Structure 1
Amino acid sequence: MKSILVSFGFFFCLNAFAQETPRSYVAHKTSEEITIDGKAEEASWKEAKWTTDFIDIEGEKVPKYKTNVKMLWDDQYFHMYAKIVEPHIWATLKQRDTVIFYNNDFEVFIDPDGDTQKYMEFEVNALNTVWDLMLLETYREGGPAIDHWDINGIKSAVNIEGTLNDASDKDQYWEVEIAMPWDALIEASKNGEIPQNDFWRVNFSRVNWDYDLKDGHYSRKKGENGQYLPEYNWVWSPQGVINMHEPEHWGYVFFSDKKPSESIQFEIAKDEHIRWKMYELYRAQKDYYSKHKKWADRVEQLQKQPISVLNTKIHPKIELHTSGYNMIVESPFSEKKYLIKEDGEFLELKN
C-alpha cells in the first residue's frame, strides 16, 4: 500500500494544519468460520496483516503503549481484531450504552459513504461492555448521538493476558475481537451494499487514562485541582486535531474479495484528494462565518493563492442560498462534479 504525503496551502481558518494522507488497509475476504473469542487464532487471522502502529490523535507523538488492528470480512460480517498493550488492565463500567471511554477503551468509527453524515461509533472496555451509537451529523453540526441505535447481531469478545483489576501484577495486553453484521452496517450506506472491491472510511481509537489506586481499586487520576487528568487518544489514522468526529480524516479500508494469502495493492483515488481539499475549504468557511457572521461567496476569500490538488489546479465555486451554500468543483482527473454543503455533506452530482 502506498503512503503519500500531501501538503496543502495556508487557509484562513483557526484549525488549519498540514493534512496528512489518511492511512489505508486491505481487508481480505475469508471463507473460514471465525469464532469470536477474543483470540483470533484462525488461519485467516494469522495470514491477515497488522495495521501500522497507532499514533497520537494529533499525529507525530508516539503513544506510550502499542496498539494494532487486523481486519477481515465475509458475507455476513466485518471482522476486526485489536491487540492493546497495557501493563495495568482495568475496567469498571458494566452497563451497555454507558459512556465507555470513562474507562480505558477501544473504539471503532465507520462512515460508509465518506460524507460525514450518518456514521457509526462503537466502544468496548476490558469487561466487554459496549456502547454503539449512530450520528446523523457530526457534533460540529449539532448532530446528536442516537444511543438507542444498536448494531443488531454484533458479536464481541475480550481476552486478557494478565489479570483484570488486579494491581499486584504486571499485565501484558488485552485483545478485542469484533464481528459487525453487514445487515446493520449498510443502514448507513446510500447504496445499501456490502463494499466488495470498494472502500469505506474507517478509523480506530484507543482512549487511555492515567490511573489512581485506592484500596486496590483503579480509577481515573485527578490533578491537584480535583479535576480528572486529560485522557490520551491514540488512533490508527491521525486526525490532526483532538476530535474523532471529523470523519474526513479517517482511514480507508478496501474490502478485497481475494484471500488473505494474496497480495493486493490499494491506492487512494485521485478524486479523494479533491474531497480532502473540499473539506479544508468547508472548515475554512465555518471559521469565516464565525468571524464575519456570513458565508464567503468566493473561494478567494478562503484561500488567496490558486487551489491545486496533486499539482493540478481545481476551480471550486460557491453558490449561496437562503439556508447556506453549495461549493461545487469539477475533477480534472475524472470530470466528475462534486458538491459540499454547509452541513459538510459531500455528494457526487449526477449528470
Structure 2
Amino acid sequence: MNKCFNPGVVLMLLLFSITSCSQSKKEIIPQTYTAHKISETITIDGKADEAVWAKAKWTNDFIDIEGDKTPKYQTRVKMLWDENYYYILADIKEPHVWGDITERDAVIFHNNDFEVFIDPDGDTHNYYELEINALNTVWDLFVNKPYREINVALNDWNYTGLKSAVSVDGTLNNPDDIDKGWTLEIAIPFKDLRTAYYQDNVPRDQFWRVNFSRVNWEHDITDKVYSRKKGADGKFLHEYNWVWSPIGVINMHEPEKWGYVYFSSKGVDHTEEFTVSNDEKIKWHMYTLYRAQRAYKGKHKRFAPQIADLNISDLVIDNQNIKVTMQNHDIGYNLYVKSPFSNKTLIVREDGKFISK
C-alpha cells in the first residue's frame, strides 16, 4: 500500500483491493445495534470493569467482509454513549497478540488492528476512519468521498479528544506463550465530529451509519520477533478482513452498506430494538442502481440513459411500488424517489452522495 501526497499534504491511499464497479454477489442486510445512554463515568483503561459495560449487549460476532465465511477468531463489540462521548468496547480473540507500529498516522493495518468507520448523516460522503493496533497506536483520517470516486483522504485530520486504551489477556509480543486476545476501549468525542463550531451533533434518539473492521495477518516469528508472513514469491500474504456488518466485497469504503447504530436516550436497563425505516430500504435499492450505473459505464464508457437499461428489478415495500426516476445532465445523472412513507424526496447523485429533502 503506497502513500502518495500532493502539495496540500493530502493522503490518497487505497486501503483495500477496490474495483471501480465492485458489486456484491448477494443481498447484504446491514446489522443494527442500540447504544444506550449512560450517566456513570467510564474510565478508558481497556479493562471495561464498569457495571454499565456488563449490562450492555454484545453485537453479533464479526463475519468475513464478503459475508460468507466464519472468521478464525472471534471479534465482537459493545457500545454506549453520554452527552460527550461515543463509547466502543472491542473484544478481540487472538492467540498471538503482537504489533510493531508506534508512529501515529502510520499505516496501522500493516499490523493486526481494529477499525471504526463513522458516517453521521448517512450521505456516504465526509466520513471518519479510525484504526488502532494492540500497542494502542492510532491512525485517524477524514475521507470526503469513497475511493470509488475521485476523493481526498485527510491524513492530518485528528480526533483531538480521542481516548483509547488496550488491555492484553496474555503477553504482548511474546511468542513463547499462547494469548487469549486483547480488549480495546475507545471514547470518541462528539465535538470532534462537528461540522460547525456550535453545532449540537449529539445523536439523541437518532442513528448513525457505522461499521467496524478487524484486519488480521498470518505471521512469522524470527528470533522471537513477529512479522507479517510472506509467500514463496516474497510478497506479503493477503490479510483477513473481518467486519461487524458485511459489505459483500473486499472494500470497507461502501458506506451505504454499513450498519446502523441507534443512540437511545434510555438507559442500559431498557430493551429497545432499532427498526430500519422504509426510506432506508429505498435508499439501499437506489444504491443498487448506482452501482449498476458504474458497472454500465465501465462497460459502455457512458452512463445508461434510462433505468430500464440497468436490468434491476423494481422494488416493492409494504405493497407499495417504489418508482425511481432518473434525470440525465451534462456530467451524469441523479436518481430520484418520492417516498410514499415519509413524503420526502430521496436523491442519489452520480458521485454517490445521498440527499433527503
Letter in 2 for 1:54: F
What residue in structure 1 maps to residue 7 of structure 2? Answer: none
Q: From 297, 313, 317, give the equivalent of 2:325.
A: 317
Q: From 230, 235, 254, give the equivalent of 1:222.
A: 230
What residue in structure 2 maps to residue 45 of structure 1? Answer: 53
Q: From 76, 80, 105, give the equivalent of 1:68.
A: 76
Q: Distance in 2 between matches of 1:169 and 1:188?
A: 50
What residue in structure 1 maps to residue 146 of structure 2? Answer: 138
Q: From 244, 256, 262, give the equivalent of 1:254.
A: 262
**Mapped contact 1:44–1:260 kept (Cα < 8 A):** yes
Structure-2 change in CA distance of 1:290 and 1:188 (3 Å): farther
Counterparts of 1:251-290 in structure 2, within 5 Å, are 251-290=259-298
Q: Which runs of 5+ in 2 are unaligned?
A: 1-20
Q: Distance in 2 between matches of 1:259 and 1:24?
A: 18
DSSP-derived class of the 1:139 partner? coil
**Mapped contact 2:191–2:201 kept (Cα < 8 A):** no
Q: How many residue pairs are counted as aligned between the two chains?
A: 336
Structure-2 change in CA distance of 1:130 and 1:298 (3 Å): same
What residue in structure 1 maps to residue 122 of structure 2? Answer: 114
Q: From 154, 159, 176, give the equivalent of 1:151.
A: 159
Deviation at 1:333, TM superposition (A): 2.1
What residue in structure 1 maps to residue 350 of structure 2? Answer: 342
* Greater alpha carbon shift after TM alignment, 119-128 vs 179-188: 179-188
Q: Distance in 2 between matches of 1:157 and 1:256?
A: 25
Deviation at 1:304, TM superposition (A): 5.4
Letter in 1 for 2:251: N
Corresponding position: 1:91 with 2:109: no
Corresponding position: 1:184 with 2:192: yes
What residue in structure 1 maps to residue 8 of structure 2? Answer: none
Q: Distance in 2 between matches of 1:120 and 1:148?
A: 12
Measured against aligned partners, the alpha-carbon deviations of 1:207-256 in whole angstroms (never above 9, x if no partner) come to: 00000011100000000011100000000000110000000110000000
**Mapped contact 1:112–1:188 kept (Cα < 8 A):** no
Q: Distance in 2 between matches of 1:30 and 1:241?
A: 36
Structure-2 change in CA distance of 1:304 and 1:173 (3 Å): closer
Percent same amino acid among aligned pairs? Answer: 54
Q: Distance in 2 between matches of 1:161 and 1:307?
A: 48
Letter in 1 for 2:325: K
Q: Distance in 2 between matches of 1:289 and 1:309?
A: 29
**Mapped contact 1:277–1:309 kept (Cα < 8 A):** no
Off by >6 Å, runs of 4+ in structure 1? none
Instruction: State TM-score, norm by structure 2.
Output: 0.91
What residue in structure 2 maps to residue 81 of structure 1? Answer: 89
Corresponding position: 1:327 with 2:339: no
**Mapped contact 1:119–1:188 kept (Cα < 8 A):** no
Counterparts of 1:21-40 in structure 2, within 5 Å, are 21-40=29-48
Deviation at 1:307, TM superposition (A): 3.6
RMSD: 1.5
What residue in structure 1 maps to residue 15 of structure 2? Answer: none
Measured against aligned partners, the alpha-carbon deviations of 1:48-87 in whole angstroms (never above 9, x if no partner) come to: 0000000000012100000010000001100000010000
Measured against aligned partners, the alpha-carbon deviations of 1:291-323 in whole angstroms (never above 9, x if no partner) come to: 111111211111254343455321111111112
DSSP-derived class of the 1:234 partner? strand
Q: Distance in 1 between matches of 2:92 and 2:334?
A: 42
Deviation at 1:186, TM superposition (A): 3.0
**Mapped contact 1:327–1:339 kept (Cα < 8 A):** yes
DSSP-derived class of the 2:287 partner? helix
Q: Distance in 2 between matches of 1:41 and 1:237?
A: 27
Q: Distance in 1 between matches of 2:119 and 2:233?
A: 38
Q: Distance in 1 between matches of 2:186 and 2:266?
A: 21
Structure-2 change in CA distance of 1:188 and 1:24 (3 Å): farther
